Amino acid sequence: MILILGFLAIAALPLQAQFIPGQYEDEAPFRTWNSFPYLGAASLGRGQTAFAWGADATVSPANPALLVALPKWTFSLGGSLQNATAMRYGPLNSGPISSAEPLGHTLFSGDHAAVSFRSGRWAFAAAVFLSEAFDRPVAEVVERYSNGDYVFRYTQSGFLRTYHLAGAFRISSRLAVGFGLNIDSGRLETELYEDILGRYQITGTKTAALSGLFVNGGLFWDISPSVRAAVTFRTPSTLESRTETVDRFVFPAAGTDISINGSSDDSFKRPLVVGAGVSAQIGARFRALADIAYLRWSAYRAVWLGEEQARDFRDTIRLSAGGEYVTDFRMFGKNGKAPVRLGIVYDPQPTPAPRSAYIGFTLGTGLEIGGFRLNLGALISAESGSGDGLLGRRISLDLGYIF
């Protein structure tokens, strides 16, 4: 019995003392730490630029001031397919499981539903969007012996969904301001499973219920009919977590089934984000955009499983630039437009060791027929600095209507 309890105690211990996972701590968002702002497919395609210009309600999480520049009503639904590779997370490459190459994971999700309304100088928006995902590749080892199999498996999944309400006011013909209230709700689940020769099993599960609240806002100024500048922000906030743990030992031959339950009140103090953007209409068909975002990751703090975690993050500056060229076409007797989008993103990660960054290239297109809108955007990014050669990919699709 003492030996069994010892196994359970070891399973419950955190691995931080022997393991510095870098980009992929348990609470790290899938693919990149820098998940603000949420981006629709059109913004993704033009280099993840969203601070100074947009065409539907998906602009509100980035800069709600832009709502007053939209048509009277806009509605959008979107989803995405993401793929990312990871080398160090959970128990992977910390001892129990090792891999010579990064493991990949593909995630399909419904990303947003958003609606906006403008009347006179005022505009409003309501949206729900997937702000973060916490999924990881399944890490598994199976070793076969003459008297049975040994199986060790680690799984992690989770999401953070944000409910967003925003309002904007046009101060003058060239100046507007907007603010948004955001309520976060989500979960994070991890499981360690060990089956030793089919004789007994050890599992350790952690389930966290996440909740939080923050404000975002922004301002834009139409410097001229073709040039717009904007500033935006997200307030620092605390993501609260009620975490439940269950460590279990099952030995069927002896009729043994022992569980140890625990709980903790955890928190993740997320950073202030300040951004600025510019949009320039060049001729009748081309628009150029650029964004810069400062993320104060040095203020980030994490309490996980009842203990303050060592993060020591560094502040980061993300740079984005892109363009959009609009072409005309005629289909089924109706005139339409087909934008072509390109962009580039420099996305440094806040982890001090390794110091890494992603360089991403984006492209996109769409269809505009009457009030109907379809947008397709794609990102391909490669990481440098860690030596692991991590990759990140995303394809987003939006459907919407403007009237």
Are the beta carbons of 77 and 232 closer than 8 angstroms? no
Task: Give me the domains of the chain, ranges plus CATH numbers.
Answer: 30-135+158-181+213-237+268-402 (2.40.160.60)
**DSSP 3-state of 354:** coil
8 Å CB contact between 320 and 230? no
Q: How far apart are CA 190 and CA 204, in angstroms?
A: 8
pLDDT reported for residue 189: 98
When pLDDT is cut at 50, 70 and 90, the band that residue 254 belongs to is confident
What are the beta bridge partners of residue 151? 142, 195
Whether the predicted pLDDT of 249 surpasses 90: yes
Nearest to 304 by CA among 206, 205, 184: 206
The 10 Å CB-count burial string (b at 16+, else e) for 58-78 is: bbbbbbbbbbbbbeeebbbeb
Q: What confidence tier does 1 reach under pLDDT thresholds 50, 70, 90?
A: very low
- Interval 201-240: pLDDT, tens: 999 999 999 999 999 999 999 999 999 999 999 999 999 9
Q: pLDDT tens digits, residue range 278-326? A: 999 999 999 999 999 999 999 999 999 999 998 999 999 999 999 999 9
Helix (H) or strand (E) holding 3, with range, is helix 2-12
How much is the pLDDT for 22? 60
Instruction: Judge whether residue 348 has pLDDT over 80.
Output: yes
Residue 3: band (very low, low, confident or very high) from pLDDT cuts 50, 70, 90: very low
37: Cβ–Cβ under 8 A, 6 or more apart, which residues? 50, 51, 61, 62, 63, 216, 232, 234, 275
- For the cut 90, the answer to whether the pLDDT of residue 331 exceeds it is no
Overall residue count recorded for the chain in this entry: 403
What does the mean pLDDT of the chain come to?
Answer: 93
- pLDDT tens per residue across span 37-53: 999 999 999 999 999 99
Q: Give the best-scoring range by mean pLDDT among 90-94, 98-102, 373-377.
A: 373-377
- Give the Cα separation of 68 and 55 in Å (integer): 11
CA distance 79 to 72: 24
Taking the C-alpha atoms of residue 323 and residue 43, their distance in angstroms, rounded to an integer, is 10
Distance CA 85, CA 378 (A): 17
Q: What is the mean pLDDT of residues 104-110?
A: 97
Distance CA 234, CA 338 (A): 33
Least confident of 89-98, 172-181, 274-283: 89-98
Average pLDDT over residues 111-136: 98
**CA–CA dist 380, 109 (Å, integer):** 18
Confidence check: pLDDT of 7 > 70: no
pLDDT at 13 over 80: no
DSSP code of 42?
H
pLDDT-derived band of residue 352, with 50, 70 and 90 as boundaries?
confident
Residue 187 has pLDDT above 70, yes or no: yes
Banded model confidence at residue 160, pLDDT cuts 50, 70, 90: very high
